[in-house]
Amino acid sequence: MIWRLKVDTQHNRPSPSKFWNWFNPVGRQTSGWAFMLQRVTALGLTFYLFLHLIILGQLANGPQGYDSFIALVSSPVFIASELIVVAGAILHGLNGIRIILTTFGVSVTRQKQLFYALMVLALIIIVIFGIHMFTA
């Protein structure tokens, strides 16, 4: 007798709705929010890396490229976007520390409290960093 595994091909097909469910915060618990935050910050930091390399590539155009680069990074819009990148890096890093700690068995039963504590710490660091960025 030959056993055949029935595969539900309709259920396993990729679709836009399944993709957006990856980021859907509705009905998630704290761990789901933490996991989604990790995904979004990773994608944002990856996008920033490519954008950063493109902008730095403009410096190869000589003095004109340097002058335009300095004008760009001095604008308030650029400073605000840098703060967003820094915030993403801090959130991603501290959430990553939470993941590492729980992977090694530290605070496994207190993941929610650890997440909230690290996010409060992240908010404090982001506010301090933002104050320094906009007052310097």
- The 8-class DSSP code of residue 22 comes to T
pLDDT digits (tens, 9 = 90+) for 10-20: 666 777 777 77
Q: What is the amino acid identity at position 92?
A: H
Rounded (5°) CA angle 97-85-134:
115
Kindly tell me if the per-residue pLDDT of 113 is higher than 70: yes
Q: Report domain 31-135's class.
A: mainly alpha
Cα Dmax for the chain: 77
pLDDT digits (tens, 9 = 90+) for 59-92: 888 888 888 888 888 888 888 999 999 999 999 9
Confidence band of 38 (pLDDT split at 50, 70, 90): very high
Length of the chain (residues): 136
Confidence band of 7 (pLDDT split at 50, 70, 90): low
Mean pLDDT across 15-44: 83
Kindly tell me if the per-residue pLDDT of 115 is higher than 90: yes
Domain boundaries, the chain: 31-135
- Positive or negative: CA dihedral 9, 14, 17, 21: positive
Total Cβ atoms within 10 A of residue 46: 10
